[in-house]
């Protein structure tokens, strides 16, 4: 596990001096941060060690953002070597299923949603028997049956894996937050775009017109916000939050010493008020006594 980053390191574990990282990413770094694609769980397995950047003070493991980006890019190129009918996506959870359904509509790739029934990849007698040449799974734990059958049949597997996922039979790991709605939406958005680019369906990213909001929407929900319309402001806030988080975690001693001072201020003010109150009362009594004497 990597240790805490130094003050001169960026969110993806590289020095930020003289480097323009966002230009090398598939999408703006702020969008990745906003989606929380790099936030893992409080559990970590040995299989995911190569993709862990550090652990936060609250116990959550943070995945390496640069490796996430590289792995999504390569997964898109890998999938593009196959025709839509040769690929199968397994999405057992609601959030992954919603995003995968939009991915399917854009690319023509078949998606299996819900519980994966045993025998779909191994029992040729089943009416719903399938023989994909490559499998994309959204959670090795929830889709363990599909992973086991694909491994048995020698079908290559691309897997979205969180910090707590065992990667047995997974041939290409995409480290990511595979439980969050926005994270999964962003992953399928990028995979769809990279797949179409790889197949020559679009010549540039500008030609990919499906908005990210469509991958986040619930089935039947109308997408009313155009792509990128409200993203910059939200992204700015997320970046500020991430920077603030890094400052706090990089200097815990400073934060610890600052807290008592802030808490002590109200008490000091209270004592000051208490001290001033008797003085004011004495001054008032003295003034009243002088006035009475004059009378």
Closest CA to 93 of 118, 115, 119, 117: 115
Question: Where are the domains positioned within the chain?
Answer: 21-250
Instruction: Write down the CATH number for the domain with range 21-250.
Output: 3.40.50.10490
Contact 89, 100 (CB under 8 A): yes
Cβ count within 10 A of residue 81: 12
Query: Which pLDDT score is estimated for 16?
Result: 44
Contact 146, 177 (CB under 8 A): no
The per-residue pLDDT for range 158-172, each reduced to its tens digit, is 999 999 999 999 999
The helix/strand/coil state of 61 is strand
Say how far apart CA 183 and CA 38 lie, in whole Å.
9
- Section 16-27 average pLDDT: 60
Contact 184, 161 (CB under 8 A): no
pLDDT for 235 beyond 70: no
The per-residue pLDDT for range 90-137, each reduced to its tens digit, is 999 999 999 999 999 999 999 999 999 999 999 999 999 999 999 999
Taking 3-state DSSP, the helix, strand and coil percentages for the chain, each rounded to the nearest 5, stand at 50, 10, 40
Closest CA to 239 of 41, 58, 16: 16
pLDDT for 77 beyond 60: yes
- Section 2-19 average pLDDT: 41
Say how far apart CA 263 and CA 261 lie, in whole Å.
5
Strand pairing class (87-91; 61-63): unpaired
Average confidence score pLDDT of the chain = 79
**pLDDT-derived band at 222, boundaries 50, 70, 90:** confident
Say how far apart CA 46 and CA 51 lie, in whole Å.
10
pLDDT for 6 beyond 50: no
The per-residue pLDDT for range 116-129, each reduced to its tens digit, is 999 999 999 999 99
8 or 163, higher pLDDT? 163
Range scoring the smallest mean pLDDT among 43-47, 173-177, 227-231: 227-231
């Amino acid at each position: 596990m990597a240790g805490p980053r130094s003050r001169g390191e960026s969110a993806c574990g590289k020095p930020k001096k003289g480097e323009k990282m966002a230009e090398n990413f598939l999408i703006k770094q702020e969008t990745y941060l906003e989606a929380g694609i790099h936030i893992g769980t409080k559990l970590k397995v040995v299989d995911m060690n190569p993709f862990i950047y550090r652990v936060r003070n609250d116990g959550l493991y943070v995945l390496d953002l640069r490796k996430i980006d590289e792995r999504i890019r390569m997964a898109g190129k890998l999938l593009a070597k196959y025709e839509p009918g040769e690929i199968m996506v397994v999405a057992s959870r609601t959030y992954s299923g919603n995003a995968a359904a939009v991915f399917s509509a854009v690319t023509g790739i078949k998606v299996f949603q819900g519980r994966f029934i045993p025998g779909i990849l191994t029992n040729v007698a089943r009416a719903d028997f399938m023989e994909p040449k490559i499998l994309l799974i959204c959670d090795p734990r929830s889709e363990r049956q599909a992973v086991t059958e694909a491994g048995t049949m020698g079908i290559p597997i691309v897997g979205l894996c969180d910090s707590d996922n065992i990667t047995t039979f997974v041939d290409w790991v995409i480290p990511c937050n595979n439980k969050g709605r926005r994270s999964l939406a962003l992953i399928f958005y990028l995979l769809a775009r990279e797949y179409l680019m790889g197949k020559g369906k679009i010549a540039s990213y500008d030609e990919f017109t499906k908005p990210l909001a469509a991958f986040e929407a619930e089935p039947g929900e109308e997408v009313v916000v155009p792509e990128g319309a409200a993203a910059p402001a939200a992204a700015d806030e997320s970046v500020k939050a991430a920077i603030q988080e890094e400052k706090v975690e990089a200097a815990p001693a400073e934060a610890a010493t600052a807290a008592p001072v802030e808490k002590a201020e109200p008490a000091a003010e209270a004592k000051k008020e208490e001290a001033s109150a008797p003085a004011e009362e004495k001054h008032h009594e003295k003034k009243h006594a002088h006035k009475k004497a004059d009378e």
